[in-house]
Amino acid sequence: MIRSALMNVMTAAALKAGRGLKRDFGEVENLQVSVKGPGDFVTAADRKSEKTLFEELSKARPGYGFVLEESGIVEGTDKSHTWYIDPLDGTTNFLHGLPIFAISIGLAREGQIVAGLVYNPATEDMYIAEKGQGAYHNNRRLRVAARRNFGDALIGCGVPHPGKKGHVGFRAEFAAVMARASNLRRLGAAAIDLCYVAQGSYDGFWERELQPWDIAAGILIIKEAGGYVTDADGNPDMLTTGSICAGNEAIHSQLLTLIRAAK
Ligand code: IPD
Ligand code: CA
Ligand code: CA
């Protein structure tokens, strides 16, 4: 288990924000909801969670910059550190009473992700990783699945909303992967999807049009669990391109080939 001062700060902030999310999840029908874009909702719970995370992390690590889903970029005086925060990943699930949602916190140092945390307060699943220290689910060390045969693989994915440009292209990718894999899943919280690759529940995962706060933490958690993760073109700059393809070495490469060839 990782017991660094940094991870203590991150877990304390996530547990505090998580208590608020859990309370709001119990009274979801009373929440104020607004729409940011096609299929993209924001609730009072997202905003409260973000405020708590911002306050707690700013107090513990003064000067670090932030990339926050709801409030945008907050420049820090310390230019080498940036937090990437999704205060509630899986808002649609949250609004529908599905307990598949999480807080996601990633920390970049000099542009490299060095720490990641994904916490689902409904189930108390906590996934953490620090660069070079491994990845953990609660106290258990994580390892990606060993399966190499694509025909046996369970593959997770994300569906770009019909209002988004990637929606039509996704159908071709979905058909291509469905024709070869054992089966597919779409759970609706990208941060958790990535942790499911890290723990070997999914053999692979791909999605496009994500944002850095959705994936910063999960990317490190997969890498520290021995997985491979690139963007949908096989390049390493997922935080910029927003697409992601992940798995163990064998499944990652087969999944990448399928989605690149899909038309
Ligand atoms: C969304 C979820 C979903 C993914 C969307 C994301 P949000 O995040 O991660 O799985 O398909 O693209 O925007 O809006 O619930 O934080
Ligand atoms: Ca998200
Ligand atoms: Ca969110």
Mean pLDDT of the chain: 95
Question: Model confidence at 146, in pLDDT bands (50, 70, 90)?
Answer: very high
Q: Is the CB of 46 under 6 A from ligand 1?
A: no
Residue nearest atom 15 of ligand 1, based on CA coordinates: 90
- Interval between CA 90 and ligand 1 midpoint (Å): 5
H or E element that contains 7? helix 5-26
CA distance 219 to 125: 17
Question: Is any ligand 1 atom within 6 A of the Cβ of residue 190?
Answer: yes
Cα 88 to middle of ligand 2, angstroms: 7
Query: Can you give the pTM of this predicted structure?
Result: 0.96
pLDDT of amino acid 244: 98
Q: How confident is the model at residue 167, as a pLDDT?
A: 87
Take residue 43 and report the two structure tokens written for it: 């609730």
How far does residue 68's CA lie from ligand 1's centre (Å)?
14
Q: Is the pLDDT of residue 41 over 90?
A: no
**pLDDT, average across residues 91-119:** 97
Residue 69's pLDDT band (cuts 50, 70, 90) = very high
pLDDT given at position 238: 97
pLDDT, residue 36, reads 78
Is pLDDT above 80 for 50? yes
Judge if 5-141 and 150-262 fold alike in CATH terms: no
- For residue 142, the 8-state DSSP code is P
Q: Which of 27, 24, 77, 26 is nearest to 51 (CA)?
A: 24
State which fold the 5-141 domain adopts: Fructose-1,6-Bisphosphatase; Chain A, domain 1 (3.30.540)
pLDDT at 35: 86
CB of 50 sitting under 6 A from ligand 1: no
pLDDT at 261 over 90: yes
pLDDT at 1: 75
Q: For residue 140, what are its two tokens?
A: 């258990």
* Under 8 Å between Cβ of 181 and 257: no
Distance 193 CA to ligand 2 centre (A): 11
Q: How far apart are CA 160 and CA 254, in angstroms?
A: 22
How many angstroms separate the alpha carbon of residue 41 from the centre of ligand 3? 8
Those residues with Cβ within 8 angstroms of residue 257's Cβ, 6 or more apart along the chain or in another chain: none
| Position 44, amino acid | A
Residue-range domain boundaries for the chain: 5-141, 150-262
In the reported structure, the alpha carbon of residue 57 is separated from the centroid of ligand 1 by a whole-number distance in angstroms of: 23
Q: What are residue 107's DSSP bridge partners?
A: 83, 115
Q: Please state, in angstroms and rounded to a whole number, the distance separating the CA atoms of residues 223 and 106.
A: 13
Which ligand 1 atom lies nearest to the CA of residue 190?
Answer: 9
Q: Which atom of ligand 1 is nearest to the CA of 91?
A: 15
Q: Of 39 and 193, which is predicted with more confidence?
A: 193
Nearest atom in ligand 1 to the alpha carbon of residue 86 is: 16
pLDDT, position 259: 97
Whether residue 166 has its Cβ less than 6 Å from ligand 1: no
- Predicted pLDDT at 37: 75
pLDDT exceeds cutoff 90 at 168: no
Tokens of 203: 């053999």
Instruction: Give the CATH fold of the 150-262 domain.
Output: D-Maltodextrin-Binding Protein; domain 2 (3.40.190)
What pLDDT is recorded for position 93? 95
Instruction: Give the count of alpha carbons within 13 A of 7, CB side only.
Output: 22
Residue 248, ligand 1, Cβ within 6 A? no
Q: Is the pLDDT of residue 2 over 80?
A: no
Q: Which atom of ligand 1 is nearest to the CA of 210?
A: 12
Percentage of the chain exceeding pLDDT 70: 100
Ligand 1 pocket, residue 188 CB under 6 Å: yes
Ligand 1: residue whose CA is nearest its atom 12: 210
